[in-house]
């Protein structure tokens, strides 16, 4: 079983003195996602929840509609192989054009709102759920409290799913922001709980277009980020009626889209 944390020797320098210590690092390794014996994605990730990551990737990229289309999903070292049911049609030429991923860039080539519209990304129903501001203020502390690997290494992104009352439902960590989100969505999908209407997603770091896309494909109406959103993330959220929050930290946040859901 792959490790998510690695111990390495380091020399720590403080002022004019130095000492030899052991440090903990988050592991980064490639994961190959195979669909019907073809490679559809290679992503750099932190080992752990690989089945969730693969399932979430297939779901948030519009390749599968839900767990009911998956016949079998198996993992071996740094590879997940997914078999779909016989009646599921896949356009492998499109996959080969668009689905090479890395921990920093998300899905290369998928950079337009029009692409989401062509995939059938839903416009979210307005004004629901209604969430008090105090709930939003409490989200970062709840995420940090459950980031076990980050607590030991300080080097991972986190994604956390909440209900409208602020109850923490699921937390996942990874070196890649989009991988952490795919792990959350994949975990819920494999449990038969997608789409995620009425849920909130909090991500550490910034809110990019890729993260907004994945949240939308999962049907999540509220996306909150500890950092700033990108311009395309804001434009996408406004187009599909998503509530997008940025700089959610230290008792404050900015609403970039969908203010009617926040009370």
- Residue-wise pLDDT tens digits, 124-181: 988 899 999 999 999 999 998 877 665 565 668 899 999 999 999 999 999 999 999 9
Contact 189, 67 (CB under 8 A): yes
Q: Structure pTM?
A: 0.88
At 108 the pLDDT is: 41
213 has a pLDDT exceeding 60:
yes
Q: What is the mean pLDDT of residues 246-252?
A: 95
Contact 239, 113 (CB under 8 A): yes
Cα 99 from chain centre: 16
Domains and CATH numbers, the chain: 29-118 (3.10.20.10), 133-261 (3.40.140.10)
Residue in 36, 105, 108, 121 annotated catalytic? 105
Is 105 among the residues known to form the active site? yes
């Amino acid at each position: 079983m792959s490790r998510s944390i690695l111990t390495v020797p380091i020399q720590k320098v403080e002022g004019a003195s130095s000492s030899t210590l052991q440090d903990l690092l988050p592991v980064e390794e490639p994961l190959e996602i195979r669909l019907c014996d073809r490679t559809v994605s290679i992503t750099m990730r932190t080992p752990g929840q690989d089945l969730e990551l693969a399932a979430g990737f297939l779901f948030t990229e519009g390749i599968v509609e839900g767990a009911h289309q998956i016949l079998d999903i198996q993992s071996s070292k740094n590879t997940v192989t997914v078999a779909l049911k016989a009646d599921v049609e896949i356009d492998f030429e499109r996959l080969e054009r668009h689905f090479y991923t890395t921990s920093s860039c998300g899905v290369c080539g998928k950079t337009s709102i029009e692409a989401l519209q062509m995939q059938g990304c839903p416009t979210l129903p307005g004004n629901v759920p209604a969430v008090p501001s105090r709930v939003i203020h409490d989200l970062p502390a709840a995420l940090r409290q459950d980031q076990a690997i980050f607590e030991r290494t300080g080097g991972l992104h986190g994604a956390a799913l909440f209900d409208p009352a602020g109850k923490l439902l699921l937390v996942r960590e990874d070196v890649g922001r989009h991988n952490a989100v795919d792990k959350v969505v994949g975990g819920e999908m494999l449990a038969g709980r997608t789409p995620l209407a009425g849920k909130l997603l909090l991500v550490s770091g910034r809110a990019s277009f890729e993260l907004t896309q994945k949240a939308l494909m999962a049907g999540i109406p509220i996306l909150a980020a500890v950092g700033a959103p990108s311009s395309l993330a804001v434009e996408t959220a406004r187009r599909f009626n998503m509530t997008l929050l940025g700089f959610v930290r230290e008792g404050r946040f900015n609403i970039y889209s969908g203010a009617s859901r926040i009370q």
